[in-house]
Amino acid sequence: MRANSFLIYNRAMPEFHALVPAAGYGARMGHELPKQYLPLAGQPLIFHALNTLCASPEIATVFVVLAPDDALFHTYEWPHFGDKLQPLYCGGATRAESVANGLLASELEPDDWVLVHDAARPCLTQAHVARLIAELRDDEVGGILAVPVADTLKRADDQGRIARTEDRAGLWQAQTPQMFRAGLLAQALRQCGNVTDEASAIEALGLRPRLVLGESTNFKVTYPQDLLLAELLLGQKGK
């Protein structure tokens, strides 16, 4: 692709796509309904991230990676998303596998940018997406939204007592979206084992993704108590 100047001319505007892994079960939520379908602010939880990504004018397609036996996604109506939303029933046993399978099924060009975003982060805003794209569109490697660690960090011993206090200087909490070229990310995920985010796979190639300052409001809904906070934040949107 890179060697063909005609194609590069035709793709002068970089393309951005989103890929939302949503093939997990939500074991830590402890509910019989998979986490991504739990009711949140009047919609299934996954709706909120899809809504923000589909409304982003810079994003061409929003791929959502579902478990092969997902029987719920199609039972909801996703009225105003139209063709921009593309479900892919190819989720794997781990998040990394789901993302790798989704990339393959999406048939993106190697140079396309892909923003991988957890279905379980419903409080993502247009401003977060716009900032990530603006800061990384000319970057060689890509990067992630993240926030500096605010709390004091304690290392536990095996009796649940504090072994020591860790230095938090320079530590950041990784969030999503994580934005990389589709070809590079697919290669990175093929080469590394099970990683918990895309940046780890890119780092394993010896590259150094950029940290783009996000907000703590873009947290991941993991435990039952997180639902209330997400509901409150979503209620503030647009006020």
Binding site for ligand CTP (CB under 6 A): 21-28, 35-36, 65, 91-95, 98, 118-120, 220, 222
To the nearest whole angstrom, how small is the minimum distance from the Cβ of residue 29 to ligand CTP?
A: 6
Query: Measured from the CB atom, is 29 or 59 closer to ligand CTP?
Result: 29
To the nearest whole angstrom, how small is the minimum distance from the Cβ of residue 94 to ligand CTP?
A: 5
To the nearest whole angstrom, how small is the minimum distance from the Cβ of residue 56 to ligand CTP?
A: 18
Query: Measured from the CB atom, is 76 or 164 closer to ligand CTP?
Result: 76
Query: Measured from the CB atom, is 21 or 44 closer to ligand CTP?
Result: 21
Query: DSSP characters for the chain?
Result: -TT-HHHHHHT-SPPEEEEEEE----GGGT-SS-GGGSEETTEEHHHHHHHHHHH-TTEEEEEEEE-TT--SGGGS--GGGGGGEEEE----SSHHHHHHHHHHHHT--TTSEEEE--TT-TT--HHHHHHHHHHHTT-SS-EEEEEE--S-EEEE-TTSSEEEEEP-TT-EEEEEEEEEEHHHHHHHHHHS---SSHHHHHHHTT--PEEEE--TTS----SHHHHHHHHHHHHHTT-
Query: Measured from the CB atom, is 4 or 216 closer to ligand CTP?
Result: 216
Q: Which residue is nearest to ligand CTP (CB)?
A: 24
To the nearest whole angstrom, how small is the minimum distance from the Cβ of residue 229 to ligand CTP?
A: 15
Query: Measured from the CB atom, is 92 or 183 closer to ligand CTP?
Result: 92
To the nearest whole angstrom, how small is the minimum distance from the Cβ of residue 178 to ligand CTP?
A: 12
